[in-house]
A = this chain, B = another copy of it.
Amino acid sequence: MEINRIQTNDIPQIIKNRKSRDAIQYDGIDDRVKTIVQAIRQDGDKAVKHYIHQLDGVHLTNYIVTQAEIAEAYHSVSEDMIEVLNEANANIKNYHAKQKETSWYSADAQGVWLGQQVTPIERVGVYVPGGKAAYPSTVLMNIMPAVVAGVSDIIVTTPVQADGTINPMTLVAADLAGASQILKVGGAHGVATLAYGTETVQAVDKIVGPGNAYVARAKKYVFGDVGIDMIAGPSEVCVIADETAEPAYVAADLIAQAEHDELASAVAVTTSESIASAIQLEVEAQMKQRDRQAILQESIQQQGGIYVVSDLETAMKFVNAWAPEHLELQIAEPFEWLPHVKHAGAIFLGHYTPEPLGDYFAGPNHTLPTNGTAKFSSPLGVYDFMKKSSVIYYTENALNQVRHQVERFADEEGLDGHRESVRIRFND
């Protein structure tokens, strides 16, 4: 892991190099996605089953998970893990409950009543990636905010395994969190099934959850017909370390991030030369003891880095230029520096708040904006599962007070029907 001494004016180029990571061409994928989505939109279940057979290699007569399958799944998950899932669920629920907005109104003596009505989305689809490993944390983090929001129907979809089943851990986590229905449909065909519905599954209003390139491009394709959450890129951490940081902790947190995949990015920014060297040594030493050697070698070498800066002001400039998904402040005064952070998905303060604590357990969502999108987007939250309606009520008198202004505006925009809709109420 290279150490670079940098100044403020080096930052834009570093960020630019990072951004060029994702200049991937999706043309081939996009064509395929379009074919799949259009087929399912037109032919429904027949097309869904066709793609499950073609792409997942399984013949399914029914792609909806049965109650019996869920009950069976509980038998294959250990009791202590169910306890941990329940505890995590409670923490996630508590944090997200604080995000829940309520309707409000304001009124004045002139007879003007204005409000904002906040209501849950009715039907939501949650995409859960498949593969050999199950990621129950992803299941909880995507379902629970919808539950807190008051969503009536939460439809989970996930790729079917070669034997026609779903990983039991995924089923248990989905059931515990509050899924209404679970489908065995992965990939772009899973997204299409949720977006447009079929004879057996009603379309949803919004789709959330991570997935591979086919899932991501399918979500972008159906966006507009349904809502979607963000399109997530590779995971990232930026650790800010001052001279009080413990290099072994910093290194462990960098490795925890880098082990996700080859494109994951783990970067430390420190005000101390000696801490930088110590982090470098610790990363080398600790890496050797980890399971995922190949992934770590690749991501630490290609995407990792240690930057030495003159002070924490410069470190903050780095943070705000990058807008990292995860930010750790392993510094003496993290609360003092918190207000300097303008853009980051999640911020971990102090020496005892490692990022994996947030991945699994603390409560805040682990679905976070990546690749600089924290400049304009937020962690997945209850607000993603609710929406607002403006409400306006004017009394006759209140409308009379402002009618000429409204009519003037309508004249300016050349819309006489707009003018008339006000004027007619006073019949002069």
Known A-B contacts A342-B122, A343-B119, A379-B388; the reply to A406 vs B361 at CB < 8 A is yes
For chain A, residues 310 to 345, give those with C-beta under 8 angstroms from any C-beta of chain B. 334-335, 338, 341-345
Q: Is A271 an interface residue (CB 8 A)?
A: no
Q: Which secondary structure dominates chain A's binding surface?
A: mixed
What residue of chain B has the Cβ atom nearest to residue A349's Cβ? B393
Known A-B contacts A409-B88, A425-B352; the reply to A416 vs B224 at CB < 8 A is no
Q: Is A55 an interface residue (CB 8 A)?
A: no
Give A151 Cβ to nearest chain B Cβ, in Å.
11
Once bound together, how far apart are the Cα atoms of A88 and B410, in whole Å?
A: 13
Enumerate chain B residues within 8 angstroms of A169, measured Cβ to Cβ. 412
- Establish whether residues B422 and A356, one from each chain, have CB atoms under 8 Å apart when the complex forms: yes
What residue of chain B has the Cβ atom nearest to residue A400's Cβ? B352
- Chain A interface size range: 35 or more
Once bound together, how far apart are the Cα atoms of A422 and B360, in whole Å?
A: 12
Once bound together, how far apart are the Cα atoms of A369 and B414, in whole Å?
A: 24
Q: Is A390 an interface residue (CB 8 A)?
A: yes
Q: Is A284 an interface residue (CB 8 A)?
A: no
Query: Which of B80, B104, B374, B387 is A376 in contact with, Cβ under 8 Å?
Result: B387
- Establish whether residues A389 and B374, one from each chain, have CB atoms under 8 Å apart when the complex forms: yes
User: Which of A286, A352, A361, A395 has the most chain B CB within a 10 Å cutoff?
Assistant: A352
Q: What are 22 pairs between A and B in contact, CB < 8 Å? A: A84-B412, A112-B362, A114-B363, A117-B341, A121-B375, A121-B376, A134-B412, A224-B373, A249-B425, A252-B417, A252-B420, A256-B421, A292-B415, A346-B392, A354-B399, A354-B421, A355-B421, A356-B410, A361-B405, A361-B409, A374-B389, A375-B387
Chain A contacts to B: CB under 8 angstroms: 80-81, 84, 87-88, 95, 98-99, 104, 106, 112-114, 116-117, 119, 121-122, 133-137, 169, 205-206, 220, 223-224, 226-227, 231, 248-249, 252-253, 255-256, 258-260, 286, 289-292, 296, 334-335, 338, 341-365, 368-369, 373-379, 381, 383, 387-396, 398-399, 402, 405-406, 408-410, 412-422, 424-425
A-B pairs, 10 with minimum CB distance:
A364-B390, A227-B376, A349-B393, A356-B418, A378-B388, A259-B417, A360-B409, A346-B390, A256-B421, A354-B421
